[in-house]
Amino acid sequence: MTRGSTLVLAGALALAAAAGPLLDAQAPAGPEPNAPKAPIPDGFTEIFNGTDTTGWHVSRTNHHGTMPSFRVLDGILIGTQDPPGKGGILLTDKKYRNVEVFLEVKPDWGCDGGLFLRSSEAGEAYQVMLDYLPGGNMGGVYGERLQGVSAAAARDWQKAWKREEWNTVRARIEGDVPRIQVWINGEPVTDFTDTGNHARDGAADGMLAIQMHYSNDTTKRWVPGGFWRWRTIAVKELP
């Protein structure tokens, strides 16, 4: 290598070294798919133990499906359709009245999930919509097979949601005539009060459930091979 070439190379390396930190500082931060678990708020008790589905059961009468695949892998509850096109719900064995629920979730894009509150065995419930797909709504409220419930869409949920990362969802239901509030990553997105108690048979309590929606050619609510993931499910019972 000639002396001239050596000087050119040395100059190029010096410029690269000088520019490197500046370029790194200007680069946008990417997603953190393996970020540490979010802290569980004070007063909450975990109801998913990170090992198995003790305290939970699959509904055998839900219209989305009756044989959904739920398994635990490395402390994460993973759900997918089984067989493809058929979803279902996983219910708590215990019933809850006034309660807050705290989830940490990571769904695949194109997969429709949900959190059911005051659910019947068949899945008739107040639902916190977790429709993670085109045109979907994360954090709104819907009456799942309940008559008389006006759906409430979450506002600005896209600003709070972190794509391709773990996100927290917190939902509170209280009152005989339910008031439901929802937060995504600590940001309020829904504050809904029903016009009456429209739960099945006027129930003021019920099970909690996590949902995987059915899907077909006309109702495309799940991508082939898609998954929903939960690594924290915790509750705080309210007076």
Task: Please tell me the distance from the alpha carbon of residue 187 to that of residue 148, in angstroms, as a whole number.
Answer: 28
Averaged pLDDT score across all residues of the chain? 90
The identity of residue 222, as a single letter, is W
How far from 117 is each of 30, 53, 98, 108, CA to CA, in Å?
Answer: 34, 18, 10, 23
Domain boundaries, the chain: 56-237
pTM value is 0.86
φ, ψ of residue 23 to 5 degrees: the values are -65, -40
Question: 147-174: per-residue pLDDT in tens?
Answer: 999 999 999 999 999 999 999 999 999 9
Question: 124-151: per-residue pLDDT in tens?
Answer: 999 999 999 999 999 999 999 999 999 9
Please give the CATH architecture assigned to the domain spanning 56-237.
Answer: Sandwich (2.60)
Q: How confident is the model at residue 5 (pLDDT cuts 50, 70, 90)?
A: very low
